[in-house]
Structure 1
């Protein structure tokens, strides 16, 4: 007798193995546990963005970090530590999280839609095995039962068996799953909105004094940020003029401020009354009024009698608008006879603007933000301002590094306080006259197409969170048996302590005369 060897098992084809591999990993990616892990990974990946300075927020801070850490900074730059939110690894986690949530939610939406349209499941043959079970008198009325359940917004299904058994199956609480799905869908909306905002939004901040005009280009912004898909050519073309600004103060603090502006775009002009939280919209771009301050006007006369008038914005230091700023004159002391600027004869002033100066107190800093008695506290420096090296520096102070190195020398040892119309004279024969104070408005121009998407996500989140937390899903059955007995039963699909009480209330309405069983008293332990 010859033994027959079984053929070796055939290996699946490569295409089938690939489909099986892809299906297995797709199910793994779209599981809720994976989505939670990716959400945690996204939170961890965002930590470097708050640890290291970001180019999209402040390129100056990134430059300073390179100067302070010349060995470490290039390695961090290779890892996108200064561009975290546009880095490939952050984008990969972000994209995987969105795919995971979409793949997780869409099948659940289909299952939930089918469940909403399906009939309520029938009760088990032995209703006594359910957590809530009662036997009631035969007087329970079927028509009354249907009316009561409909009035209380239970979804019902009536079944009649061949032996005469009639069962009403009722269900309530599907809004819990609806809210759960809305909550998770809201996360997708927020992720999409944040991504769209990061790629396509832009903003610019501008300090604008009264009767001044600026046009919408990057060179005229004091600070700006662009999305990854935005460049200067994408900005809408318009110009805006601050015609008038008004601020109201009460008890030493601002209570309201507004501005009258005029604008021109595409050959069209218009006027607008700009208020806080009431932005001007130009071609889908909003212009917000976010702050205000003071501009000091001074005239500098050099040793040769040549004058320069400067309108310099000051930065508020406190609620009373005591402000700091600086006046810089790199072209001072130009000799008209030789056509040359004197070496190391640049002039700068560190200044503090006090809106209301009270000389009776002996204190420089005032407590009233209104312009009742404005003064300038000035410290003069002569030498090299350090503007020729091309490094960016603050417009609100004289370069401290130049002072520390001795390139700038203080003109005298005292701080001089002058009022409007007064003049400070320097030892080289030049002088600075305080001409007056103007007001300025702080404007923010912003375009954020992701904002409405994030708002929709926030509304979905609130709309889904309430039913997901408050609604309890439960089922209730009434059965009329052929022998005349009537049974009711209930089943809790979630943690719900009030199931027995709710089912007893329903049974009492459906079967008049029904008395719910009283709980047995707790006898306690006997000695």
Structure 2
């Protein structure tokens, strides 16, 4: 058990770097940024797996050793507990006064009635009883044992801990998670290549995903606007609901509602609504009026007023590709200190504030975030005064780009829904293991392993009751429990008589 506790401590310490350093499974872009900012330490940390802590061999080795250690601890104890549960209750020892707890009482009742009262009291407490035959005239004896299930609860807790660890490991191997941004009015099909980010388990074949599709018909969002604008509650989100249409092969499409805390189950996976934002639709044309780009481009919110950052990449532009970067402001205003800002998260006065680069958008074919530009092979476009070009576009406006580069138009700003699709086959076994483990923990902490021995001898017109008790482990309430048991037996065997008022008057 000491080995298991030591390994559990090691596992906790090994998980600490996962909360300090960015993890590829959560944000590959942050890992790339960290490596760019730490040219010396970054590659060393990457080599020892600190950016993929939970999938590294050394982390897996610790929890596998923990499972083996727990099994080595629990299996011998299960065999021992099985023998203990089948073992009979021991006989009453000769000298009860030498036991850890001891009580003697005089009871105004015959020994048989006292023994019957003791048998009933212990049976109600779910004690196992043993009553051996005695010679005529000998003291009556009764042995009882309770709390045998305490060790069973302890074993159940440790077994469930193993079940939870194995279930989590299976979830990592057989489960997967994908995230995707779907603008309102657009559809999404569950195909590996369609996910913005996809994290499959080691044993998952993404080519065998169950096919299904979902169309986001509408995204209903409400923001607080019934308070003073200076209040901290101004603009706070109050309601997010997506109306979607789901389709499975061989089934008719279904209209369903997706909420923040109301995921949908479809195709063996669960779909969660995790975020929302705006995807401004822009149209970029060349100098001849040919449409080079006409899409809704998601921008990423940065604060509670949905001031959003994003990039519009136009690879079809010639001779140099164009890349716009900047902000989307749902309710645009101008601050003397901050410049263009958004003062409310809803689209009351939408505007785009953009800059422009030209060159090669994807140097070397390297992957990059959809929200940022890689300007390593690009140069910034400047205005006629030689300053970096700044474009302010309100909805419905068109801006002519300098140098015969064409134009850009801001058409509208539909919303987008951030969907997280997850499949975790280890989730329910882990939940069942956690609940059973909690039950086992309650049993091990609340039950007391006790052995109680009684001897009843006749004394005058009544009986002398002797009770001795033993407890496994520390039990400071053993003596109190024996005294309460003696009181209960005395009350059952010789209850106080109620006098008849009529007979009292005759006397």
TM-score, scaled relative to structure 2: 0.83
Q: Name which of 434, 441, 453 aligns with 1:458.
A: 434
Once the two structures are superposed, residues 358-403 of structure 1 have per-residue CA deviations (whole angstroms, 9 ceiling, x without a partner) of 469996322321122211122x224314424212222223335456
Equivalent in the alignment of 2:365 = 390
Equivalent in the alignment of 1:111 = 80
Equivalent in the alignment of 1:227 = 201
Is the CA contact (8 Å cut-off) linking 2:380 and 2:388 kept in structure 1?
no
Over 3 Å counting, the alpha-carbon distance change for 1:392 and 1:128 in structure 2 is same
Q: Name which of 156, 176, 180 aligns with 1:182.
A: 156
SS in 1 for 2:466: strand
Superposition map of 1:324-473 within 5 A: 324-332=309-317, 341-342=318-319, 345-358=320-333, 364-378=340-354, 380-402=355-377, 407-411=379-383, 412-413=387-388, 415-429=390-404, 430-473=406-449
Shift of 1:142: 1.0
In structure 2, list runs of 5 or more residues that go unmatched.
226-234, 494-507
Superposition map of 1:48-197 within 5 A: 56-57=25-26, 84-137=53-106, 139=108, 141-162=114-135, 164-197=138-171
Q: Name which of 276, 281, 305 aligns with 2:260.
A: 276
Over 3 Å counting, the alpha-carbon distance change for 1:198 and 1:375 in structure 2 is same
Q: State the alpha-carbon separation in 1 of the partners of residues 122 and 58 from structure 2.
A: 55
Matched, 1:486 2:461: no
Shift of 1:201: 0.4
Q: Which moved more, 1:356-365 or 1:117-126?
A: 356-365
Over 3 Å counting, the alpha-carbon distance change for 1:225 and 1:36 in structure 2 is same
Q: State the alpha-carbon separation in 1 of the partners of residues 333 and 30 from structure 2.
A: 39
Q: Which moved more, 1:386-395 or 1:412-421?
A: 412-421
Q: Which moved more, 1:40-49 or 1:103-112?
A: 40-49
Over 3 Å counting, the alpha-carbon distance change for 1:324 and 1:226 in structure 2 is same
Q: Name which of 279, 285, 288 aligns with 1:301.
A: 285
Is the CA contact (8 Å cut-off) linking 1:279 and 1:289 kept in structure 2?
yes
Is the CA contact (8 Å cut-off) linking 2:325 and 2:373 kept in structure 1?
yes
Equivalent in the alignment of 2:505 = none
SS in 2 for 1:273: strand
Q: State the alpha-carbon separation in 2 of the partners of residues 513 and 143 from structure 1.
A: 9
Q: State the alpha-carbon separation in 2 of the partners of residues 119 and 49 from structure 1.
A: 52
Is the CA contact (8 Å cut-off) linking 1:192 and 1:453 kept in structure 2?
no
TM-score, scaled relative to structure 1: 0.80
Once the two structures are superposed, residues 282-341 of structure 1 have per-residue CA deviations (whole angstroms, 9 ceiling, x without a partner) of 231112211111110111222232223231001011122221112222322xxxxxxxx3
Once the two structures are superposed, residues 415-439 of structure 1 have per-residue CA deviations (whole angstroms, 9 ceiling, x without a partner) of 4433211223332243222111101
Equivalent in the alignment of 2:301 = 316
Equivalent in the alignment of 1:265 = 248
Q: State the alpha-carbon separation in 1 of the partners of residues 388 and 65 from structure 2.
A: 63
Q: State the alpha-carbon separation in 2 of the partners of residues 359 and 79 from structure 1.
A: 48
Shift of 1:464: 1.9
Shift of 1:494: 3.3
SS in 2 for 1:313: coil
Shift of 1:206: 0.5
Over 3 Å counting, the alpha-carbon distance change for 1:53 and 1:418 in structure 2 is closer
Q: State the alpha-carbon separation in 2 of the partners of residues 360 and 58 from structure 1.
A: 33
Shift of 1:512: 4.8
SS in 2 for 1:146: helix
Could you say what the CA RMSD is over the residues aligned between the two structures, in angstroms?
3.0
Once the two structures are superposed, residues 424-462 of structure 1 have per-residue CA deviations (whole angstroms, 9 ceiling, x without a partner) of 333224322211110111111111001111111211222
Q: State the alpha-carbon separation in 2 of the partners of residues 52 and 355 from structure 1.
A: 33
Over 3 Å counting, the alpha-carbon distance change for 1:495 and 1:92 in structure 2 is same
Matched, 1:505 2:484: yes
In structure 1, list runs of 5 or more residues that go unmatched.
1-31, 333-340, 515-527
Q: Name which of 254, 266, 275 aligns with 2:237.
A: 254
